[in-house]
Amino acid sequence: MFRVARRPSATTIPMLGTSLKQTKKGHMYMRRKLTAGNWKMNGNRGLMAELGTLSGSQSADAPEIVICPPHPLLTRAIDATSGSPIEIGGQDCHAATKGAYTGDVAASMIAETGATFVIVGHSERRDGHSESDETVRSKAEAAWAAGLTAIICIGESDAERAGNDTLQIIAEQLQASLPDGATAENTVVAYEPIWAIGTGKVPTLAQIIETHDMLRGELLTRLGDAGTGIRLLYGGSVKPTNAAEIFQAENVDGALVGGASLKAADFQPIIDALAAS
């Protein structure tokens, strides 16, 4: 059955959970804050109760919220959040529209469930499935063609951070993974240091500010004014205890959250911290 995507229309959302900013040329623009939960290979239908709790807890000024469960749970997650502002996304898609790709899922299949987002280029795909920047870029283009917003992940390894190569590495990853034609509507970029994912380690606020400011500059140089509207998420061990500090950074528009998105009791304080930032 084809499901109609529940993406809120641009005319109905812009004043909620947004931050109003000004470009150097004096143009005003808004980036709606966004929290995305990546369940990875976790969850079963029992976890839908957490989505029910989250659905019932959102205030009118809540940021945009997306949950990305494993693909077999997409339809259940859509049903569990029906009537709520929570959106649903996939965790990966294939670059092709169909064909002999056993085990893979096309972006259009994700969109048909009613999902509106898909994560591409997560480090667990880049490392575990040998995905190159070029592959990630093709997947983002496939996501756009299916009407999905691509959450494009980039991030440096422990060794690259130790070697002082972070800024260069993630600038190169961004440029090579981001297709031409990226806009605020079709693209979100998530900066996720690999060494911070699932480890409890988090960069300092100064390091997060440095990377996100650099990424904003790269987006502006590449895309012009369109680069002001693309949201930049931080990801890597975001918890209720550190979220408020991370959200102080001007170019952090939200978070991509793994472990702490599995329980409403952990995810809700992160959403609240973002709303208050």
- Catalogue the active-site residues: 122, 192
With a CB cutoff of 8 Å and minimum separation 6, the contacts of 176 are 133, 134, 137
Taking CB under 6 A as the rule, which mask of x and - marks residues 105-134 in contact with ligand PEP?
------------------------------
E strand or H helix at 22, and its extent? strand 18-22
To which residue do tokens 């996100």 refer? 212
At 242, phi and psi to the nearest 5? -115, -5
**Binding-site member from 259, 268, 272, 273 for ligand PEP (CB under 6 A):** 259
Q: Does 38 bind ligand PEP (CB under 6 A)?
A: yes
**Total residues at interface with ligand PEP (CB under 6 A):** 14
Closest C-alpha to 90, from 136, 37, 135, 29: 37
Closest C-alpha to 150, from 139, 161, 160, 134: 139
Q: Which residue lies nearer to ligand PEP by CB, 55 or 123?
A: 123
Q: Does 256 bind ligand PEP (CB under 6 A)?
A: yes
At 147, phi and psi to the nearest 5? 85, 10
Beta bridge partners of 106: 94
Q: Which residue lies nearer to ligand PEP by CB, 227 or 236?
A: 236
Taking the C-alpha atoms of residue 104 and residue 93, their distance in angstroms, rounded to an integer, is 7
Q: Does 257 bind ligand PEP (CB under 6 A)?
A: yes
> Least distance from C-beta 91 to ligand PEP, angstroms?
9
Taking the C-alpha atoms of residue 78 and residue 48, their distance in angstroms, rounded to an integer, is 10
Q: Which residue lies nearer to ligand PEP by CB, 51 or 257?
A: 257
Q: Which residue lies nearer to ligand PEP by CB, 92 or 160?
A: 92
Q: Does 92 bind ligand PEP (CB under 6 A)?
A: no
Q: Which residue lies nearer to ligand PEP by CB, 124 or 160?
A: 124
Stretch 191-250 residues interacting with ligand PEP (CB under 6 A): 192, 197-198, 235-238
> Least distance from C-beta 238 to ligand PEP, angstroms?
5
> Least distance from C-beta 276 to ligand PEP, angstroms?
20
> Least distance from C-beta 200 to ligand PEP, angstroms?
8
> Least distance from C-beta 170 to ligand PEP, angstroms?
15
Please state the three-class secondary structure of 51-113 as a single string.
HHHHHCCCCCCCCEEEEECCHHHHHHHHHHCCCCCCEEEECCCECCCCCCCCCCCEHHHHHHC
Q: Which residue lies nearer to ligand PEP by CB, 40 or 216?
A: 40
Judge whether 121 and 154 are in contact, CB under 8 Å. Answer: yes
Taking the C-alpha atoms of residue 21 and residue 273, their distance in angstroms, rounded to an integer, is 19
Q: Does 47 bind ligand PEP (CB under 6 A)?
A: no
CA dihedral 207, 208, 210, 215 (to 10 degrees): 140
> Least distance from C-beta 257 to ligand PEP, angstroms?
5
Residues that bind ligand PEP (CB under 6 A): 38, 40, 192, 197-198, 235-238, 256-260
